Amino acid sequence: MRSITLRLGAAFLLLAVLCVGLMGYLTNLSVDRDFREYVERLVALYTQQAADDLGRLYVRDEGWEDVQGEVSDLAKLRVRRLVVADSSGVIVGDSGGLWLGESAEELGLHGGTPIMVSDQEMGAVYSLLPPGAGAGGDLEIPGFLGTDAAGEDFFADVADSVRVAVLVVTAAALVTGAVLVVQIARPIQSLIKGARHVAAGDLSYRTAVKTKSELGDLAESFNVMASSLERAEQSRRRLNADIAHELRTPVTIIEGTVDGILDGVFDADREHLASIKEQTALLTRLTHDLRDLSLAESGQLTLDLAPSDITDLLRRKLSQVEVRAREKDISLELNAPDGLPHVAIDSMRIEQVVANLVDNAIRHTSAGGTVRVSAEEAPGGAGGPDQQHSVVLSVSDTGKGIAAEHLPHIFDRFYRVDASRSKDEGGAGLGLAIVKQIVVAHGGRAWAESEPGTGSTFFVSLPVAVTPTA
Ligand code: ADP
């Protein structure tokens, strides 16, 4: 039985039948027991009244001589057979008229109700079924009620009521069960349908389950999952298209140049070979950048962390770009004090971060401008943008700046402010995405501020290395 509807339905049915059957059985049992107790209490009460009446008779007649004449009336009143024994156990009165003069003990009569006169036991009275009314079994009910039919009617009525109750409860349990089964099974079936759509590649499918139960939460999570899968799929497609686009330009240039040389259109001279080399270098950089990005985005970038002096690192890095800055007539300034707290970094990766930022700054600054690289300590603490004790690097330039609408996106991969970039306007839009991923992998933050027409400043915060206290 694979269907959850069938399983739940069968479970409900079984439960309903078990509960209702048990209820019927227990009701019968308790009616039987309570009724028996009630009859016994009534018989005991009536017998006690008969014993009191007989005591008064004993006093009036000064003995048991005339009791047989009275005992039938007493018995008739209570629809019982009364047997009276004197203090020595000899039967002196019997409304059935059968045992006069016999010994109660020999007849097997026990548990008689004592007849007390002035605190003395003058005999005992036994309450029995009237002769010929014995069909009530040990309960003595029909006898007590007067006829067999009355007792049977009583139990038949009780049984009927129990039967009706059992039927009504079974029907109610089945209807409730059916409603519940439908309420549980329908959302599950809808979720199964959704999972099949998603598995078949239809990531736009959403379930329409709207219940406030855990199944509703599950359906909502399913929809959230499908949305994020859809977003991931769209971004994967965009990424593939971007990569293909970026690879196509250098490959086309290389292919065209080589074809030209082979067809004798170009000479295989230094100029054309240099162009091919430049495009292959671009391809190499692109593949490295893509590998670093995908490693960082999947959290697999291995960092060789060591406490380092950031001022040293900046000094080293700037000396490498000094010539290029001078060539562009840009003045390069370093503003980083000695003795800054050490930061826990992978120096090679942070050098790459600084290189990307300084390279961008030089590229976007015109001759006569300034690129300033700074580092300062940020104590952190509540309220500030950086909660942790860190060192903040900044690279500012006097270039054309970045318009406010582009600023939130410049750290996205393949995002370029000027999509129709010229050759020296830079790369594929991966530089800042790599900066961000490396900095985040270090537990830091990267952000930018810019004033179009005045310049831009890029910031990177790096957490200060925790030195073990002695
Ligand atoms: P790319 O490698 O193409 O330069 P980046 O990720 O480094 O890509 O930069 C993304 C975009 O941000 C670039 O298209 C560029 O226009 C802009 N940008 C980056 N740095 C600066 C800067 N210092 N001044 C002005 N614009 C910048």
Q: Does the pLDDT at position 110 exceed 50?
A: yes
Same domain, 318 and 376: yes
**How crowded is residue 1: how many other Cβ atoms within 10 Å of its Cβ?**
8
211: in domain: no
Least confident segment among 125-139, 204-218, 258-272, 349-363: 125-139
128: in domain: yes
Same domain, 280 and 336: no
242: in domain: yes
Q: Does the pLDDT at position 470 exceed 70?
A: no
Give CA 77 to chain center in angstroms.
73
pLDDT at 139 (0 to 100): 40
Cα(413)–Cα(189) distance, integer angstroms: 40
Same domain, 29 and 157: yes
Give the CA-trace dihedral at 291, 297, 301, 306, to 10 degrees.
130
CATH number at residue 273: 1.10.287.130
Q: Quote the pTM value.
A: 0.58
Q: Which residues line ligand 1 (CB under 6 A)?
A: 360-361, 364, 397, 399, 402, 410, 415-418, 426-433, 456
In the numeric block, the tokens 């942070």 are attached to: 350
Q: Which residue is closest in CA terms to ligand 1's atom 17?
A: 417
Same domain, 284 and 359: no
User: Which of 263, 296, 329 is the endpoint of a domain?
Assistant: 296
User: Which of 126, 161, 196 is the endpoint of a domain?
Assistant: 161
Pocket probe mutation, ligand 1, options 356, 360, 371, 395, max atoms within 8 Å of Cβ: 360
Smallest CA-to-CA distance from 462 within 326, 351, 315 is with 351
Same domain, 458 and 339: yes
* Alpha helices by DSSP H, 263-368: 270-297, 310-327, 347-363
416: in domain: yes
State the closest ligand 1 atom to the C-alpha of 433, by its place in the atom list counted from 1.
Answer: 6
186: in domain: no
Residues 6 or more apart whose CB falls under 8 angstroms from that of 458 comprise 357, 360, 361, 394, 395, 396, 432, 435, 446, 447, 448
Same domain, 329 and 269: no
Distance 370 CA to ligand 1 centre (A): 17
pLDDT at 466 (0 to 100): 77
Q: Considering its fold, how many domains does the chain have in total?
A: 3
Distance 218 CA to ligand 1 centre (A): 43
Q: Which residue is closest in CA terms to ligand 1's atom 25?
A: 401
Distance 417 CA to ligand 1 centre (A): 7
Smallest CA-to-CA distance from 354 within 392, 393, 390, 306 is with 393
425: in domain: yes
Q: Which residue is closest in CA terms to ligand 1's atom 20?
A: 360
What is residue 212's DSSP assignment? Answer: S
Same domain, 241 and 273: yes
CATH number at residue 44: 3.30.450
- Give me Rg for the CA atoms of the chain: 52
**How crowded is residue 328: how many other Cβ atoms within 10 Å of its Cβ?**
15
Residue 355 and residue 335 in contact, taking contact as beta carbons nearer than 8 Å: no
Edge-to-edge strand order for the sheet containing 120-128?
Answer: 91-94, 81-86, 120-128, 113-117
Concatenate the DSSP letters of all residues of 227-251 into one string: HHHHHHHHHHHHHHHHHHHHHHHHH
Same domain, 109 and 61: yes
Angle between helices 214-262 and 148-199 (to 10 degrees): 10
192: in domain: no
327: in domain: yes
Same domain, 255 and 113: no
pLDDT tier at 420 (50, 70, 90 boundaries)?
Answer: low
Cα(27)–Cα(160) distance, integer angstroms: 12
Cα(373)–Cα(391) distance, integer angstroms: 13
State the closest ligand 1 atom to the C-alpha of 411, by its place in the atom list counted from 1.
Answer: 6
Same domain, 395 and 273: no
State the closest ligand 1 atom to the C-alpha of 434, by its place in the atom list counted from 1.
Answer: 6
Same domain, 269 and 371: no
Mean pLDDT calculated for residue range 209-232: 90
User: Which of 114, 136, 161 is the endpoint of a domain?
Assistant: 161
Per the structure, the complete domain to which residue 307 belongs is given by: 303-463
Same domain, 365 and 314: yes
Distance 456 CA to ligand 1 centre (A): 10
pLDDT at 262 (0 to 100): 94
**Which residues share a beta bridge with 133?**
none
- Encode pLDDT of 121-159 as tens digits: 999 999 887 666 544 444 444 344 444 556 667 778 888
